[in-house]
Amino acid sequence: MDTLEGKRILVTGLATPNSIAFAVATRAQKSGAQVVLAAFPRDLEGARATAQQLPTPVEVHPVDATNEDDLDRLCSLVEESLGGLDGALHAIAFASQKALARLVGAPFEAVSLAFHTSTYSYAALGGVLARLAPPHGAALVGLDFDGSRAWPMYNWMGVCKAGLEAVNKYLARELAPRRIRANLVAAGPLRTRAALAIPDFDRVLRAWEAQAPLPWDPGDPTPVADAACFLLSDAARAITGEVLHVDGGYHAMAAPVSEPGAHQRT
């Protein structure tokens, strides 16, 4: 069944073909959605080339989610072209190496930029969706990386993800009168451009190999995309304020379940 048939879905943060945003846009189109794309202006050229690889190529609009004027222009564009939105994917995050390298002593300017881009912008996108949602409601979905624990090499981005989970709960409460749902997908580690900027990212992959009870493929974002599209669909109409883990079960395990390489040997 095409669970997004007739839905108008905004996908932000498009960058490269291995991005979660691209996987969600692909899955959404295959499920019958009309997709509109947004990318950070610096990524626009590559994002437009990436968009040509979708089942139905579409235009990519330059949007800096930390810029209110850009968000206003996006609202006007979507309203004129689609008449509104039934859902939006927040696939926006950034932290400089100064914010990733350490917690104590990180410059406030780097921390502020990471929080504005990765956390506050989720609420800002919720505001965009509230302006464009039909009376019967809509769905906001964000991308998370388990903010309940401290991760090596993540530092202030980890704090931003913890903040994202808090914002998600408050958005679920605040947007509910408009029948707008807010949910997050906490993905396992994927070899996206953003993840590969994290120092010693392979250390996280080795932890997943040992502790996730299900095999985890860091090169395959489609399980995450399928979960995001589920949350964007009417099948998730009674779900809000949730963090859906799509991580091979890693988050539920208290200790490693196998030696590294065990999944590959079976």
Catalytic residues: 154, 161
Burial code of 190-200, b = ≥16 C-beta within 10 A, e = fewer?
Answer: bebebbeebee
Q: Return contacts of 97-104, CB within 8 angstroms, 24+ apart.
A: 97/197, 97/199, 99/155, 99/156, 99/157, 100/153, 100/154, 100/155, 100/156, 100/157, 100/197, 100/198, 100/199, 101/155, 101/199, 102/155, 103/155, 103/156, 103/159
SS3 of residue 39 by DSSP: strand
Where is 144: in which H helix or E strand? strand 138-144
SS3 of residue 86 by DSSP: coil
The runs of H, that is alpha helices, within the chain are 20-30, 44-51, 68-82, 97-101, 108-115, 121-132, 155-175, 193-196, 201-211, 222-232, 262-265
Enter the tokens of residue 132: 């464009």
Cα 192–chain centre separation: 12
Report the alpha-carbon distance of residue 94 to residue 115 in Å, rounded. 8
Enter the tokens of residue 243: 């963090």
